[in-house]
Structure 1
Amino acid sequence: MPWSLHAVLFRDLVLGVLGTLAFLIDLGADLWAASQYVLSGRYLWAALVLALLGLASVALQFFSWVWLRTDPTGLHASQPPGQRLALLHLLQLGYLYRCVQGLQQGLLVWRQEVPSQFDLDYADFLSLDISMLRLFETFLETTPQLTLVLAIVLQSGSTEYYQWVSICTSFVGISWALLDYHRALRTCLPFKPLLGLGASAIYFLWNLLLLWPRVLVVALFSALFPRYVALHFLGLWLVLLLWVWLQGTDFMPDPCSEWLYRATVATILYFSWFNVAEGHTRGRAAIHLGFLLSDSLLIVVTWATHGAWLPSGLLLQVLLPVAGVCSLLGLALRLVYYRWLHPSCHWEPDRVDGTRGLYSLEGRRLPQNRRMVQLAKNFFPRDRDKSALPWKGEVNGVL
């Protein structure tokens, strides 16, 4: 095996281990926080933590199960029988099983002297699903949990040690999921440029700098008006769900599961940008950004008129200006990324349907992961002149 390929496979294996550990640590921190709320008599807070955890886990298991059931017959030869697999998902262990399966496949190809193309492609196939599930888990559970913890801190005016652990693990989990998802999309491209340190850092920073101020203002609204935050979320979520539906998504294999996907995307859009349709997305991204900024501004104005209600008002007077600066910096980095670092792609005719040519499983050649290929097409635009132009930034080694 060439040394460069061996190094890449080892890196992917290490990233897989770290991603699994990050998920387990974040889960442990949430359960620890819930137990501490119960011990201190704050049963409502504990119930909210467990409810967010449970709802996200159920959605995650459903996505995992549907994808496994609709994958090509014979693709997952080493997976348990159907009943055992269903039991794993009912026990909320489906995502963890996928992580273990991905690590086993990654270890297999790393230990082979000359790994087969099928084994390499299958490792990519598994890692792509894991990345997508990790992103869903991030915005269905980790981000709302972070918002809840910040709201509790703002309302109480103090921070316990277990809350600091929960905040730190949530930020690490969100950051990891965003970067891992972007890296996964790159592996779906017809030509796979390496994701360099510069492009990775800028993509990671603009997402994080725009996300955490949004989380802060939603937490602020939750602390000020805990009885109305559900109405606020539901109102915006319904608008975003309608917007996703109007874009005509076609991600899941049946209409029922497609609506769950749209509901999940609407939840992501409540906090951050997520592209679900092909074509030029500049206008849609601008509309979404303006929508979130307007809502966040209204929340800040609400705090300005009711700031005395919170014991942590002095802290907010520092955090909100910092959040505003971070938003401006994040927007600037986002413009830099899309202007100079975001690649356009020439999608070959035999890749339009998301498969790698006409290969079959019988020939030991693996179809590409159609789900992630479609998202990659949404994220990376086609070249306007239909030719395979050089990647933006590639000549300078940025990517």
Structure 2
Amino acid sequence: MPLSPRVALLRDLVLGVLGTAAFLLDLGADLWAAGQYALRGRYLWAALVLALLGLASALLQLFSWVWLRADPAGLHGPKPPGHCLALLHLLQLGYLYRCLQGLWQGLLVWQQETPSEFDLAYADFLSLDISMLRLFETFLETTPQLTLVLAIMLQSGQAENYQWFGVCTSVLSISWALLDYHQALRTCLPSKSGLGWAASAIYFLWNLLLLCPRLLAVALFSALFPQYVALHFLGLWLVLLLWVWLQRTDFMPDPGSEWLYRATVATILYFSWFNVSEGHTRGRAIIHLVFLLSDSILLVATWVNYSPWLPSEISLHVCLAVGGICFLAGLAVRLGYYRWLHPSCRWEPDPVDGTRVDGPRNLFPCKNHQLLWNRRMTQLALSFFPKAKDEGVLPAKGEVNGVL
């Protein structure tokens, strides 16, 4: 049964609060772990945690700043002066500022009896950017941090409470970000209904099940060959970067920043599937799955061949069995999701006049009779759902980002 508009707005607002809280909780877990490592004399581990955290944060602020600079003048209304925004991003607070801005806009919309089309569209515009930044933060910081913690636990043969806390918050943050991103893509296109509760739970589950074996394989290799894991990542990352470049992405506002996006996507592809180009995705997804599976098997085989030993508290057979079962279960759940639970690819009649809506769902009248839409996320949505493009949901190519 579809939710009433106000209930849907309240749900989105609550989810926004939970997403921001999850980000802060994961950040707190990382800082707690780094502090514990330093207190116990594990300065290298503490430095690695802080280095991953700092690098990911810097890249996230850069994305946020580039997007703000590319948005049309006056789109965001009254906001801090440019130098204040620059200072916020320099202090690594740009993403948190965006989260608070999105929550404030969502609260304003929810408080209105009949929100204006622009207020609704602007709330969507902000939430879509936040979803994308959350996904970047997940694979630039949370996923590498989780891999590092698993490697430390495997190498030391013990797990402290703060490490388990970090593992739990990281796993939940990763799966939440993937689900939130997929749901955000659907809000861009009127032909795509949102995921129901059952579909959301299954989508959350298969992403988690397929990601865990990959993280375990990399963690096992890192525990045995900590000096070589960076070379392994760099080698695969260059191959994946070439693959992304060959797909001629067009996500960022200028060619220079486009390479930042491609480098980030290559990092995501090192851990999980991410579609960036138009056309049917099944073939590319299968190629990527086979590529990652082959690499993971090689990593585990190398580990077993050189050192089939783990500290007495950890069983190698249990680790390998859990990884294999997770992969097979995740693959089965993914196939079942696309077979029975994936929302249908058809146009739904508009409830007001019974006609089709031609354009992104967040395409609404804006100031000066312009149209507001989030070009960045809409293009990704059309790449992820190629059938939607055939129905003409995207405005004419060449229009500026954000406003037509």
TM-score normalised to the size of structure 1? 0.91
- Cross-structure match for 2:397: none
- Cross-structure match for 2:400: none
| 1:1-399 map, 5 Å | 4-311=4-311, 314-340=314-340, 341=342, 343-344=344-345, 351=359, 356=363, 359-363=365-369, 366-382=371-387
Q: Deviations over 1:28-79 (max 9, x none)?
A: 1100100111110101000100000001001000000011111122110132
Take 1:374 and 1:252, find their aligned partners in 2: how far apart are those partners? 11
SS of residue in 1 equivalent to 2:227? coil
Take 1:361 and 1:17, find their aligned partners in 2: how far apart are those partners? 28
Superposed CA RMSD in Å reads 2.3
Cα 1:131–1:387, aligned 2, differ >3 Å: closer, same or farther? closer
Q: Deviations over 1:59-116 (max 9, x none)?
A: 0000000111111221101321111001100000000000000010011011112111
Take 1:295 and 1:360, find their aligned partners in 2: how far apart are those partners? 49
1:154 and 1:310 in contact (8 A); partners too: yes
1:345 and 1:382 in contact (8 A); partners too: no
**One-letter amino acid of the counterpart of residue 326, structure 2:** C
Cα 1:380–1:313, aligned 2, differ >3 Å: closer, same or farther? farther
Equivalent pairs counted in the alignment come to 384
* Structure 1 residues without counterparts, runs of 5 or longer: 389-399
Take 1:194 and 1:295, find their aligned partners in 2: how far apart are those partners? 34
Take 2:389 and 2:26, find their aligned partners in 1: how far apart are those partners? 43
Q: Deviations over 1:252-272 (max 9, x none)?
A: 011111001000000000000
Residue 387 of structure 1, CA deviation? 9.9
1:26 and 1:166 in contact (8 A); partners too: yes
Indicate the larger mover: 189-198 or 335-344: 335-344
Q: Deviations over 1:123-179 (max 9, x none)?
A: 111000000000000000000000000000000000011111111111111111111
Deviation >4 Å, runs of 4+: 345-350, 383-388
2:22 and 2:173 in contact (8 A); partners too: yes
1:155 and 1:312 in contact (8 A); partners too: no
Take 2:389 and 2:371, find their aligned partners in 1: how far apart are those partners? 30
Cα 1:215–1:312, aligned 2, differ >3 Å: closer, same or farther? farther
SS of residue in 2 equivalent to 1:382? helix
TM-score normalised to the size of structure 2? 0.90
**One-letter amino acid of the counterpart of residue 345, structure 2:** S
* Structure 2 residues without counterparts, runs of 5 or longer: 349-355, 394-404
**One-letter amino acid of the counterpart of residue 48, structure 2:** L
SS of residue in 1 equivalent to 2:367? coil
Take 1:169 and 1:287, find their aligned partners in 2: how far apart are those partners? 30
**One-letter amino acid of the counterpart of residue 331, structure 2:** L
